[in-house]
Structure 1
C-alpha cells in the first residue's frame, strides 16, 4: 500500500502514512523498460471477461472483529512509522550496538492518474509456504489499488502465521475492513489450480464514489464481493499493482522478509486498467514504474525481479 496524500486528521499528524501501503522513500530512477511482447489471450483473463457479479459475499470471509484482531497491529505499526524515512538505522531495546535497517521497498506496475480511471484488475499468485517468523515483517505482495481516487486497496497479506487476501478502506476507517484466509476452501473456489486468484476493484457508483473489491470464483464463473465503500479517498489518485513489503535486516544485513520468501515465486499477470468502463491491458499508455526501487532496497541477495511484459505482467522470485 502506498503513501497517502496530505489528509491530516484521520491518520493524525503528518497523514502521509505509508501504511501497509506507503513508500517511505522517493522512487528510484526507473530501469529501462523491457520490450513489449504479444498480450495474453483475453479468453484466459477473467479481468476482461463478461463474467457477472454473483451478488454474494466472498466465501470464507472473516467477521469484521476478527479482521481487526488479526490486522490492526500491522496498521498501527505502519501509522507509527509514517514519519520515519523508508530506510535508516534504528535500534530496539536489547539490540546493543547492532544497527538494524527498516525497509519498505516496492517494485511493479504503477497506474497513471488520468480522467475516467475507474478500476483495476489482476491475477495474483498466492503461497502457503511464506514463513514470516518475526513481527517486523509484513508482506503485501501483490497489492492492487486502482487510479481514480479508489476507496479500496485489495492486498495479499502475509504476517506471522497468517496469509489472507484483505481489503483496505482508504475512504473512511483507513484500515483493513475485510479479509479471507488463504486456505483449502479459498484455493478451491478462487484459484484455477495454478495457485493464483484474480481480484478487481471497480467504481460502481460515480456520484457517491462507491468502489467494490471482488474475487473471481472459478467454480461459479462469477465475481464474489470482498468489500464495498464510498466517500472521498484519503489515499492517492494514481494507483499500483506491486510487490511491496515492510521488514528489518538481521545481523548479516539480510532482510527477514528475504528469509520468509526465499525461493518462492510472486507474480502478477493480466494486469488491467479500466477507464470510463472500458478495460485495457496495462501498457505504456496507462502505466509505468514510478514506484520502483532498486533491487538493493530489498536487502535480499539472490532475489530476482523482472517486468515480463510491459506493464501487464511482472514476476519476482524470493
Structure 2
C-alpha cells in the first residue's frame, strides 16, 4: 500500500513537471537519467575533502546513532562468523510493535583475507531521504574492506539528516571519525549521475601496511582528483572476519507488522556499482562470484525484512546491487 501511494504521488508530480526529491545540479541530472563512468583508480590523489565535520564535533550529539551502528555491525559479525546467515528474526525477537529490527543485504568481501588492501565503489546518494522514526537508521551503502581495516564509510540516513560518515574502527573508542552533510555543496562537488541517480565515488586503501594505516578518499569532480576523506591506523576493534558493501538498517516495527523504514524508504532506492577490490600493493579486480558472495541470501524475501515493498536486485554479479521500494 505504501509503495503504491508513493508511486501514484510520483506520477502525479511528474504530470505537473515536478520530480520528487530532485532539484538543480546532480540531483536534477539524476532525474534526467544521464550516466557517467567511474573515475580511474589511479587518478591523482591530492587535497582534502571540503566541508568535513571533524574532531569532537564529529561525535557531538551522535551517541545514539553510533550505538546503533556499532551494535548493528557486531550483531551482523556474530551471526556471520558463526555461519548463521538466516535473516528472519530469531524467536527472541518476536514481531511485535516494540521490536527493533536489524537487517542487512549486499556483498560480502573476501572472508578473512589479509591480502585485500582496498576497495573502490560508486555509491548512490539521496539528499531528500529521511527516516520517519527518530530511532531508525539506514546505512546504505556502507563499506568496509576486510577484517583489520580501520575505516568503514557509510551513507547514513536518520529522521533529521543525510550524511556521509567515516567510521573509525581503530579508535580507542570506535565511532565516527568525520562526517559530511549531504547538501548542495556536496552534490555539486562529489557526485555525478550514475545509473540515473546522484552518486559519489569512494576508495578505502591501506596506505601503510607496517602501521596498518588506512585512508578513505572521495572523488572530486571539479578537480578530477581523489581527495583525502579520513585516515586512521592501529588495531581494528570490530569482530567481523570479513568485509562488506551492503544495505543495512535498524528500525522499529509499526503496529501493522512492517518497519517504519517502509514509510521513509517508499519511492527511494540505494545502490552500489563498479565495486572493485585491490589485493597486494596494487592489483585491482572487479567484484565477482569468485572473490565475493551475495549475503545473507541471493534471493531474499521482503517479508524477512518486514517490508513487503522492498526489492533486492543483483544487477551484475557482484559489482552492482540495488535495493528499492
TM-score (norm 2): 0.76
Counterpart for residue 143 of structure 1:
142
Counterpart for residue 98 of structure 2:
100
- Deviation (angstroms), 1:133: 2.3
Task: Provide the rounded CA distance (Å) in 1 between the counterparts of 2:61 and 2:54.
Answer: 11
* Structure 2 CA distance for partners of 1:79 and 1:272, relative to 1, 3 Å: closer
Q: Does 1:258 align with 2:251?
A: no
Given that 1:90 and 1:99 are in contact with CA atoms closer than 8 Å, whether structure 2 keeps it comes out as no
Task: Provide the rounded CA distance (Å) in 2 between the counterparts of 1:80 and 1:241.
Answer: 18
Counterpart for residue 223 of structure 1:
226
Task: Provide the rounded CA distance (Å) in 2 between the counterparts of 1:61 and 1:291.
Answer: 33
Alignment of 1:264-279 (within 5 A): 264-276=268-280, 277-279=282-284
* Structure 2 CA distance for partners of 1:185 and 1:171, relative to 1, 3 Å: same
Task: Provide the rounded CA distance (Å) in 1 between the counterparts of 2:41 and 2:116.
Answer: 18
Counterpart for residue 37 of structure 2:
44
Alignment of 1:1-16 (within 5 A): none
Counterpart for residue 288 of structure 2:
283
Counterpart for residue 64 of structure 2:
73
- Deviation (angstroms), 1:192: 1.3
Task: Provide the rounded CA distance (Å) in 2 between the counterparts of 1:77 and 1:255.
Answer: 16
Alignment of 1:108-119 (within 5 A): 108-113=106-111, 114-119=113-118
Given that 2:142 and 2:152 are in contact with CA atoms closer than 8 Å, whether structure 1 keeps it comes out as yes
Structure with greater helix share of residues: 2
Q: Does 1:296 align with 2:285?
A: no
- Deviation (angstroms), 1:295: 2.8
Given that 2:276 and 2:284 are in contact with CA atoms closer than 8 Å, whether structure 1 keeps it comes out as yes
Task: Provide the rounded CA distance (Å) in 1 between the counterparts of 2:211 and 2:114.
Answer: 17
* Structure 2 CA distance for partners of 1:200 and 1:78, relative to 1, 3 Å: closer
* Structure 2 CA distance for partners of 1:169 and 1:258, relative to 1, 3 Å: same
Q: Does 1:241 align with 2:245?
A: yes
Task: Provide the rounded CA distance (Å) in 1 between the counterparts of 2:221 and 2:274.
Answer: 16
- Decide which of 52, 61, 74 is 1:61's aligned counterpart: 52
Given that 1:118 and 1:148 are in contact with CA atoms closer than 8 Å, whether structure 2 keeps it comes out as no
Given that 2:219 and 2:226 are in contact with CA atoms closer than 8 Å, whether structure 1 keeps it comes out as yes
Count of residue correspondences:
268
- Report which stretch shifted further, 98-107 or 122-131: 98-107
* Structure 2 CA distance for partners of 1:192 and 1:151, relative to 1, 3 Å: same
Given that 2:131 and 2:158 are in contact with CA atoms closer than 8 Å, whether structure 1 keeps it comes out as yes
